[in-house]
Structure 1
């Protein structure tokens, strides 16, 4: 085995361990059995379902699909199939209890690590028509990212949960802010490479790389902040129909929404509930917990619009000096603490201007981390898309009203924060850590 394979396997083992530690820290280490078995919102699964689901997914792909092993617990496979059981129904299933889920996950992990040394993750010399699950560690990376994505889902459940706060964090360090000099930048017309041909870490919906030619447009250099969003509210944004799409107005009227989720008007201003604690809304943080309809209405009020997915990616990746698309806004090196607010280091967005090192070549800041950014694009595949290794990850959601979100949030793990990563959700969702920035056509000056 080559030293390169050794290093790749060492990283796989480390990432598997890191992901599981976080899953346990959000479940077994902070909540009792009753809280883990409870459904804190019909929008979310009981946390114990997520806990056993990540182990069952790992078993499915790393023991059964890759290594050809028999199912360890054939009796539970249907319980943890996300497509067979809706989130609202999972609380009524005969789920593994927390201690049993822990033992099951540990058993799966022991067997996965036992066979890791035996698996060849080198790129095959002869490329076959069918992609190779093991090549370049693809299926291991799939499993790692899957569990990391569920840790973000678990955090959404914690945000919806009522009761004694259990998530603690260190105070944010005091650092200087470097907001961009201009509120928006011109992105020049022309082609750029969108998506990727990466077969190690990228999901199927990020592939293949395609050339997209865009007209010139302008995009905000920073995310919309709480203070800016409050001005929209104070000027009657939620009461003025012309800012809203027909679907957005119907949602607002039906739900009675008049502010971002978890906000409340106090005598001294607006407060928010964050993981069970009530605090005043920080004016300079990017607004979060807004749905697509709210983001679209704000953009219309501001005389702008939401960027398309392609516009967002070009602003994040395109380097005019070289004509090349980068992996990240700052280059091709993996994210560090100076680049972006990622990995749940801070349980909230960082203030605008906190990460100037992470700016794109055009000077757009905080494209990665802090909040998922709504775009105006409906989720579908790129030209030449091919589902792999299973259509239920992406393909079943195509062209069904889901809107694309980009960039990751403060809760997103760095390995899933590349500029090609695509998230999607229904335009009414607000429990996710979502915000936005605005764009406009270049000829609207």
Structure 2
């Protein structure tokens, strides 16, 4: 069994590194060291940070080896330097960063080959190695967002996503009742996903699909960005201050048609594609305009995981098996979301589609610990963010790797953020007549 786990871990680490290489080798060294947005680090910082985390956890901690570059730890500590300040640091050059991450990886694979993968919570089932593979993939998605923010000619390419197979309209009623939220059994789940615990969720309705570009364009055309009554107080203040008039990267031509700039290319918006690059406040305003609201985190997870026949919570909407090309748009196979209705095999048993992949989905919930939460293996991954000004996002995007996406996975960000690959779907509470 340990050899199978070892092979899976090696493959996960190799997959992450291949993607990191693509994202960093597709631009010039000058672009690697440039800061394309004050919201993001220079790509070369992400590259060396990936190697530094791998060195700290796998080479030094798990492997007990001598440091490779202890002198740079402070430069790549994400809590010591804000992103806007990182270009001014004495960072490794692109050549030095490439050499560093290659050396660390060689040592990390040697540790993996020799480690028994049992004997402590950190290494049982290869947790530390899976954590580092997830960490690298999370930074790869961050670097993909940096690519979206950079200007200049397109440097990334991918096959188009599949076409819709089925039409998707309307909503699904999720019955009232208790379900198991979170996990205590997934060996590679991170601390904020734990422990599994029962949650009672009143009956509610949730849209079968994420909100599309066409639906969001109707909100704009109906004066959604001018109607103060649709926005929360904070949301309206941010809309005015940031001069929000449409999703980020949307442009309107002289004929009134909407176009979207994506990774250096400008193309007409696809009406049935999930809307993307909207902040929490925009999603909230749209939901009010539609006579609905955003789902809570518990509602989202119940819609995704609950089996109404057995009462069990499944790992993914479609079951416990890993994602496939037929169930979800993940892993940067495509550079955009697929149209709604493209993944009927990925639907939940309740009939909710595309909950995994395509776009992260804003929920109305703040980021807090589950009952019985325990820090593992370090507080800076989750605990320091609990109770802050964050909203939880669920489900992953086309830029999320399968190793960092499951029905229990929790993402979070500030409600004003738009550079992430985020959209949303709506929910609503049921009326008294519907509850009878």
Q: Which residue of 1 aligns with 2:166?
A: 178
Q: Secondary structure at the match of 1:218?
A: strand
Q: Does 1:220 align with 2:207?
A: yes
How far is 1:64 from its partner?
A: 1.1
Q: Which residue of 1 aligns with 2:23?
A: 26
How far is 1:120 from its partner?
A: 1.3
Q: Which residue of 1 aligns with 2:98?
A: 102
Q: Which residue of 1 aligns with 2:56?
A: 60
TM-score normalized by the length of structure 2: 0.97
After TM superposition, the structure 1 = structure 2 runs for residues 142-181 of structure 1, keeping only pairs within 5 Å, are 142-173=131-162, 175-180=163-168
User: How far apart are the structure 1 equivalents of 2:310 and 2:159?
Assistant: 40
Root-mean-square deviation (Å): 1.1
Q: Which residue of 1 aligns with 2:184?
A: 197
The one of 227, 230, 234 aligned to 1:247: 234
After TM superposition, the structure 1 = structure 2 runs for residues 113-124 of structure 1, keeping only pairs within 5 Å, are 113-122=109-118, 124=119
Q: Does 1:274 align with 2:255?
A: no
Q: Secondary structure at the match of 2:363?
A: strand
Q: Does 1:431 align with 2:428?
A: no
User: How far apart are the structure 2 equivalents of 1:357 and 1:132?
Assistant: 35
User: How far apart are the structure 1 equivalents of 2:12 and 2:372?
Assistant: 31
How far is 1:115 from its partner?
A: 2.0
User: How far apart are the structure 2 equivalents of 1:176 and 1:251?
Assistant: 35
How far is 1:199 from its partner?
A: 5.3
The one of 394, 397, 400 aligned to 1:412: 400
User: How far apart are the structure 1 equivalents of 2:208 and 2:413?
Assistant: 24
Larger mean CA deviation between 94-103 and 222-231 belongs to: 94-103
User: How far apart are the structure 2 equivalents of 1:98 and 1:318?
Assistant: 47
Q: Secondary structure at the match of 1:99?
A: helix
User: How far apart are the structure 2 equivalents of 1:421 and 1:245?
Assistant: 28
Contact 2:58–2:111, Cα closer than 8 Å, also in 1 = no
Q: Which residue of 2 aligns with 1:79?
A: 75
Q: Does 1:138 align with 2:135?
A: no
The one of 307, 327, 332 aligned to 1:319: 307
User: How far apart are the structure 2 equivalents of 1:239 and 1:407?
Assistant: 30
Contact 2:164–2:338, Cα closer than 8 Å, also in 1 = no
Larger mean CA deviation between 192-201 and 99-108 belongs to: 192-201
User: How far apart are the structure 1 equivalents of 2:302 and 2:167?
Assistant: 21
Contact 2:207–2:426, Cα closer than 8 Å, also in 1 = yes
Q: Which residue of 2 aligns with 1:128?
A: none
How far is 1:278 from its partner?
A: 1.0
Q: Which residue of 2 aligns with 1:111?
A: 107
Contact 2:363–2:391, Cα closer than 8 Å, also in 1 = yes
Q: Which residue of 1 aligns with 2:10?
A: 13
Q: Which residue of 1 aligns with 2:365?
A: 377
How far is 1:176 from its partner?
A: 4.8
Structure 1 residues 340 and 199 mapped into 2: Cα distance closer, same or farther (>3 Å)? closer
User: How far apart are the structure 2 equivalents of 1:121 and 1:367?
Assistant: 32
Q: Which residue of 2 aligns with 1:354?
A: 342
Contact 1:141–1:200, Cα closer than 8 Å, also in 2 = no
User: How far apart are the structure 2 equivalents of 1:251 and 1:115?
Assistant: 49
Q: Secondary structure at the match of 2:319?
A: coil
User: How far apart are the structure 2 equivalents of 1:308 and 1:117?
Assistant: 43
User: How far apart are the structure 1 equivalents of 2:42 and 2:284?
Assistant: 31
User: How far apart are the structure 2 equivalents of 1:289 and 1:298?
Assistant: 14
TM-score normalized by the length of structure 1: 0.95
The one of 292, 302, 309 aligned to 1:304: 292
Larger mean CA deviation between 112-121 and 89-98 belongs to: 112-121
User: How far apart are the structure 1 equivalents of 2:394 and 2:332?
Assistant: 17
Q: Which residue of 1 aligns with 2:251?
A: 264
Q: Secondary structure at the match of 1:52?
A: helix
Moved over 3 A (4+): none
Contact 1:138–1:199, Cα closer than 8 Å, also in 2 = no
User: How far apart are the structure 2 equivalents of 1:389 and 1:7?
Assistant: 24
Contact 1:46–1:91, Cα closer than 8 Å, also in 2 = yes
How far is 1:33 from its partner?
A: 1.1
Contact 2:62–2:123, Cα closer than 8 Å, also in 1 = yes
User: How far apart are the structure 1 equivalents of 2:320 and 2:186?
Assistant: 16
Q: Secondary structure at the match of 1:158?
A: helix
1:3-59: per-residue Cα shift (whole Å, max 9, x none)?
Answer: x111111111111111011001001x2111110000000000000000111011000
Structure 1 residues 229 and 238 mapped into 2: Cα distance closer, same or farther (>3 Å)? same
How far is 1:70 from its partner?
A: 2.3
Q: Secondary structure at the match of 2:180?
A: strand
Question: Which 5+ residue runs of structure 2 have no aligned equivalent?
Answer: none
Question: Which 5+ residue runs of structure 1 have no aligned equivalent?
Answer: 125-130
